[in-house]
Amino acid sequence: MKIRLLCIILLSTLCVFQAVASESETVQVRLITNQGDIELTLDPVNAPVTVENFLSYVDEGFYDGLIFHRVIPNFMIQGGGFDANLQRRETKAPIINESTNGLSNTRATIAMARTNDPDSATSQFFINVANNGNLDGHPLRPGYAVFGEVSAGHDVVFTISRMQTRPRGGHQNVPTTPVIIERAERIQPATE
What are the sequence ranges of the domains in the chain? 24-186
| The residue type at 91 | T
Binned average pLDDT, 10 residues per bin, the chain of 192 residues: 45 40 74 98 98 98 98 98 97 98 98 98 98 95 97 98 96 97 90 55
**DSSP conformational letter for 127:** E
**CATH number belonging to the domain at 24-186, selected among 3.10.20.30, 1.10.287.1080, 2.40.100.10, 3.90.1150.10:** 2.40.100.10
Asked if residues 82 and 180 have their Cβ atoms less than 8 Å apart, the reply is: no
Provide the pLDDT for residue 86: 97
Would you call 23 helix, strand, or coil by DSSP? Answer: helix
- DSSP code for 88: B
Contact in structure between 38 and 156 (CB atoms under 8 Å)? yes
Quick one: CA torsion of 184, 57, 169, 126, rounded to 10 degrees?
A: -70
Q: State residue 190's pLDDT score.
A: 60
Can you name the residues that pair with 166 across neighbouring β-strands? Answer: 174
Backbone torsions φ then ψ of 112, nearest 5 degrees:
-85, 135
Specify the 3-state DSSP secondary structure of 7: helix
Cβ 71 vs Cβ 78: under 8 Å: yes
